[in-house]
Amino acid sequence: MGRKRVSRLRKYTRGKTRRYKRQRGGNPENPDILANTGAPYPSGQPDIDFNVKFQPNIKNSGTIFGNKMTKSEAKAILSRPYTSWKAPAENKLYTFLCWDPDIEPPDAAGNSIPNNGYLHWLVINCNGKNEESGQQIVDWTPPSPPSGEHRYIFAIFEQKESLQINPAPPREKFNISEFTRQHNLTPFTNGYKGVRVKAT
């Protein structure tokens, strides 16, 4: 194999590896987008092939960990994002949601305030490969941070049984830890995706 071909192959492999790491949460700025959110961590759950995209059929439009958008870019997303997953088991029901854990400013030490979020989307009793197979409880509203930089986290959970949620939970003061505990929801090993949106 010639030197040029080897060089191109190494360059492609490195690029592919970097993209994979970003998609799996390997962002060097903040490797854990779930820090201080109160979100439950999986225990013994399998992986799930889970993705969220803001534009269909565009590989780099997904909610990759560490991706950043401006407020104006986020507002341009008129329709709701496109979701997809491949369930590891049949005859299961799933809950899909998106929330912003950064509604309150960080404390004096720069730490985020946990369990005080804003609910952007909630769909329950999904039995197919996307949220369209479920019951929408809280409709999608695009990111619109008032100041600073906010995280918008998309998550999928396994349900133990069919859910009935009425009335819908309020968007404000959303507590992800309390919500998942109340409805007996189990997170997947890689069932979280997220983007960061700047107010300016």
Q: What's the distance, CA 83 to chain centroid?
A: 10
Q: In this structure, what token pair is assigned to residue 20?
A: 């994979």
Classify 179 as helix, strand or coil: helix
Q: Domain extents for the chain?
A: 1-30, 32-198
Instruction: Return the CATH superfamily for domain 32-198.
Output: PEBP-like (3.90.280.10)
First to last CA, the chain: 49
Write down the pLDDT at residue 76.
65
Query: What are the tens digits of pLDDT across the range 128-157?
Result: 888 889 999 999 998 888 888 889 999 999
Query: What are the tens digits of pLDDT across the range 101-117?
Result: 999 877 788 777 777 89
Write down the pLDDT at residue 181.
96
Residue pair 118/138 in contact by the 8 Å Cβ criterion: no
Classify 149 as helix, strand or coil: strand
Q: What is the pTM of this model?
A: 0.78
Partners of residue 69 on adjacent β-strands: 197
Question: Which residues in the chain show pLDDT less than 70?
Answer: 1-32, 55-66, 76-78
What CA–CA distance (Å, rounded) separates 171 from 122? 10
